Structure 1
Amino acid sequence: MVELALAQKARLLGPVKNPAARLYRAVAKEIPFVLTIYDIDMDIPDARRAIKREFMKNTQIKDKRIVEMTIEKGYMELEDTLLQWKQRSQLIRLLEGYVRNDGAARKKLGDDATADEVFARSGI
């Protein structure tokens, strides 16, 4: 399996006190660049809060092997994002709260919908 550069570099740096904090800092540092290249109109503090929320979901994990695997996966996800291998919609879904979650519950437009109604629904 091909090793991704960020994950490999992080592993080569050796043991650290808190590898999750190192990953969090690496992600937080790249947020402005990611928001720019994916053209996501979101404030940087809001994006950082969303990322922090994702990190906090894993605070209950105590098994060292699972923690290492999760951190490795985090570096791979960061590299995939920076190389633009992800779709914009994947990032928007990650930045939950920025996008409405009730998309499936919306009322369908009828055949007699005007062009303005269709445009308003497109979210552009």
Structure 2
Amino acid sequence: MAHRHIASREEVFFFENGQQFGNGVVITRFENGNVQVQLPIVYERTPSQWINVKLMVRPGDSVTSTFGKFLDTVEFEPEDSYIIVGTEEGKPVIDVLSTERYARLRAALGASERIVAEQLPEAPTSSNGDLLKVLKERANG
């Protein structure tokens, strides 16, 4: 694997009653403009090797459209689950998500979309406090 320069990495987690619930989404931005979105869809690539789905979002593409290219079908299975079928690197991905996990996945895609659309601060900052100040200034226009 070629060395990639990481510009930023963010994680989105879901909380219920103050406790982290389930796996989060990891959004990694690279200096070349590509973004990798790791989704909490876990499937078995080979026996005893379980991995998360990783979408590579190219500059100009959206997270939603990239996910659409990955996704082949979604089927609701009574009583309370969804069967996700997709293709990653030419291999089939099949996972069964509870209704709650599927709803969190959809929400995570939306959150990823917003994060990817945001501009990174142009100047490096020396501390988290400085970074928060830069982000607040950007948010206030």
TM-score (norm 1): 0.26
| Bigger strand share | 2
Structure with the larger helix share: 1
When Rg is computed on C-alpha atoms for both structures, the one with the higher figure is: 1
